[in-house]
Amino acid sequence: MGNRQEKIPFARKNQEIISAVITEAGRQFDLPDNAEISVTLTDNEGIRELNREYRGIDAPTDVLSFAFDENNAEDGIDFVTPGEIHLLGDIVISLEQAVLQAEEYGHAPERELGFLTVHGMLHLLGFDHNEEEEARKMRDWEEKILLALSLSKD
């Protein structure tokens, strides 16, 4: 990562941003208290390996989501066993890529980390962006959640 490393927010700040985004998304989608998400922060090499293994793409990416079930937040999340932990899935984010993209888009690394977290979270909740209408819905939710946390583009 060279001299970019000092621009990556400290681990505590990362944790605060990720936690705030997941909490806000949970609130907006009325997720039950027993919902849990795993988040892993890595570099471009780490995410490239996962991208190659699970998607067949031998290149780094910014965020990967691995949903453990086929819940769809727009239809409502229904957990069979209330009170037991229900793992929605894993989110993996490349901090290295987040810093590069923040520079490219002209905003703070914190905003990019928030965006990548909410993007990954929405995938776990059944959103996708393969079709234009799906992509629009996903973008709307991303901005709504980031705005609630003062992490919007403006």
pLDDT in tens, 106-144: 998 999 999 999 999 999 999 999 999 999 999 999 999
3-state DSSP: the chain helix, strand, coil percent, rounded to 5? Answer: 55, 15, 30
Domain of 34, CATH number, reads 3.40.390.30
Would residue 87 count as lying in a domain? yes
Would residue 153 count as lying in a domain? no
Would residue 60 count as lying in a domain? yes
Would residue 80 count as lying in a domain? yes
**What span, in angstroms and rounded, lies between the C-alpha atoms of 113 and 97?**
10
Would residue 154 count as lying in a domain? no
Domain that holds residue 112: 2-148
Would residue 33 count as lying in a domain? yes
State how many domains the chain has. 1
Would residue 133 count as lying in a domain? yes
Would residue 32 count as lying in a domain? yes
The pTM for the full model equals 0.85
From residue 43, alpha-carbon distances to 10, 11, 21, 86, 94 in Å are 14, 14, 21, 28, 5
Query: Which tokens sit at 104?
Result: 């490219």
**What span, in angstroms and rounded, lies between the C-alpha atoms of 72 and 115?**
20
Per cent of the chain over pLDDT 70 is 82
H/E element, 94: strand 86-94
**What span, in angstroms and rounded, lies between the C-alpha atoms of 115 and 63?**
10
Q: What is the mean pLDDT of residues 50-57?
A: 96
